[in-house]
Amino acid sequence: MLLLILKRIGLGLITLFIVSLITFVGVEVLPGDACTTYLEREAYGAALDACIKRLGLDVPAYERYLDWAANVVRGDFGYSLSGEMPINEVLGPRVKNSLVLASVSILIGIPLAIVLGIITALWRDKLPDIMISTITIFSMTIPEFISATLLILIVAIWLGWLPGIVIIPSDATFYELLSNIILPVVAISMIMTAHMARMVRSSVIQVMASDYVQMAILKGVPYWKMVFRHVLPNALLPAINVVALTIAWLLGGVVVTEVVFNYPGLGRLVIESISNRDLPVVQALAIILASIYVGINLIADLMTLMLNPRLKSLQIRK
């Protein structure tokens, strides 16, 4: 088991290494370099030389990569060009904001999705299922920029209950954030919850039709006990990986929602740094997003292994 975890972590690190190489090479082969983009029209003569010298662009590419990689390992992503400040300072608040948005959405969305999925499955083809399923399919099909805009129109403009866009500094405190993120959370949860509820529903229905559930009924196990003991643990196992992907997607920045609500999270930073051609920040973001995906998928796989006795003993036997 320990060996397996180490193996998976090793594989994750290799993935990150490859991602870093690809982004570095990608940035290298783009026409121009950090200095020409930064200096724009002044990119000639002494200013350019000074810039190249300052950013260390005069050394060979592989040396720069090694240098950069060594710093990243130490947790230092270097300097942002546009802000001329350490990338860590640029990233820090953004990561925090994205974390807040993601965790609030997760705390609300995932339990809601599981409950809705279970209700629709247990009352399959009855009124609760028909109602909830209609709503979930509806909110699944509407693109988020439309649902977000509609939310702003109805809740913020017509009713005036909540601010329509988030106007806060990027280093706002948690409590300042909380009152501002209600609408974005609703917009995100609508899609996320709908997808996951559908998944949970089909998974529960499948397990309910299994031989062991029939056996539990014929054993005299009361209905709700059967649901909690025999159905849910088996039905929710396959959901873990979907939940993981959703969390990674949320942390990686829900670009559209962040843009519509003007929310200062990671997703918007990606857009901004690309349009500013702030290459060091793009590189840093690529590494961070990749680590989030790798890390969360690793956790999900390990959880599935822990919770599924079948896989667990299979691995031990090997």
Partner 1 sequence: MNEIIESVKNLSIGFNSQKGKQISILRNVSTNIKKGETVGIVGESGSGKSTLALAMMGYIKQGLFPLKGECLFKSDDLLKMSSRQLEKIRGRKIAMIPQNAGQALTPNLKIGYQIDEALRLHTDLNKTERDKKISELLNKVRLPSPETMAFRYPHELSGGQQQRVAVAMALAGKPDLLLLDEPTTGLDVTTQAHVLELLRFIAKDTGTSMIYVSHDLGAIAQVSDRIVVMYAGEIVLEGPARKILKEPIHPYTYGLLKSIPKLSLAGLPASMPGSQPQPGSINEGCSFYDRCNLATDNCKKNSPDLEHIKKLDTNVRCFNYKELINQNNNLQTSITKKSNNSEANEVLKLKDVSISYAKQKFFDQLLNKISDQNPTVKDINIDIKKGETIALVGESGSGKSTILKSIAGLLKTKDGQIKFENDRILSSDLKMRNPNDLRAIQLIFQNPDESLNPNHTVEQILSQPLKLYFNLSGEELKKNIIDLLKKVRLGEFYMSRYPRQLSGGEKQRVAVARAFAAKPDIILCDEVTSALDVSVQAAVLNLLQQLKEDLGTTYVFVSHDLAVVRAISDRVAVLYQGRLCEIGPSQNVYKFPSHPYTEVLLGAVLEPDPDIKPKLVAEDIVEEKPPEKGCSFQGRCPRKIGDICNSKVPPWQIGENGNAIRCHINIEELASLQQ
* Cα Rg of the chain, angstroms: 24
Q: Which is nearer to partner 1, 17 or 228 (CB)?
A: 228
Handedness of CA 290, 108, 143, 96 (dihedral sign): negative
Q: Which is nearer to partner 1, 58 or 211 (CB)?
A: 211
Q: Select the span of 64-72, 130-138, 207-215, 255-263 touching partner 1 (CB under 8 A).
A: 207-215
Residues 140-159 that bind partner 1 (CB under 8 A): none
- Please report whether residue 307 would count as binding partner 1 according to CB under 8 A: yes
Which residue in 31, 45, 169, 222 binds partner 1 (CB under 8 A)?
Answer: 222
Three-state SS for 169?
Answer: coil
Contacts of 216 (CB under 8 A, 6+ apart): 226, 229, 230
Q: Which is nearer to partner 1, 46 or 218 (CB)?
A: 218
Contacts of 156 (CB under 8 A, 6+ apart): 162, 163, 164, 183
Which amino acid, residue 126? K
Which residue in 75, 160, 169, 309 binds partner 1 (CB under 8 A)?
Answer: 309
Among candidates 63, 90, 66, 86, which has minimal Cα distance to 76? 86
- Please report whether residue 7 would count as binding partner 1 according to CB under 8 A: no
How far apart CA 170 and CA 175 sit, in angstroms, is 13
Which residue in 221, 245, 259, 302 binds partner 1 (CB under 8 A)?
Answer: 221
Q: Which is nearer to partner 1, 73 or 316 (CB)?
A: 316
- Please report whether residue 125 would count as binding partner 1 according to CB under 8 A: no
Which residue in 82, 88, 202, 308 binds partner 1 (CB under 8 A)?
Answer: 308
How far apart CA 128 and CA 29 sit, in angstroms, is 56
Which residue in 3, 159, 167, 218 binds partner 1 (CB under 8 A)?
Answer: 218
Crossing angle of the two packed helices 309-317 and 279-307, in degrees rounded to 10: 100
* Binding positions for partner 1, rule: CB under 8 A: 210-212, 214-223, 229-230, 233-234, 237, 307-310, 313
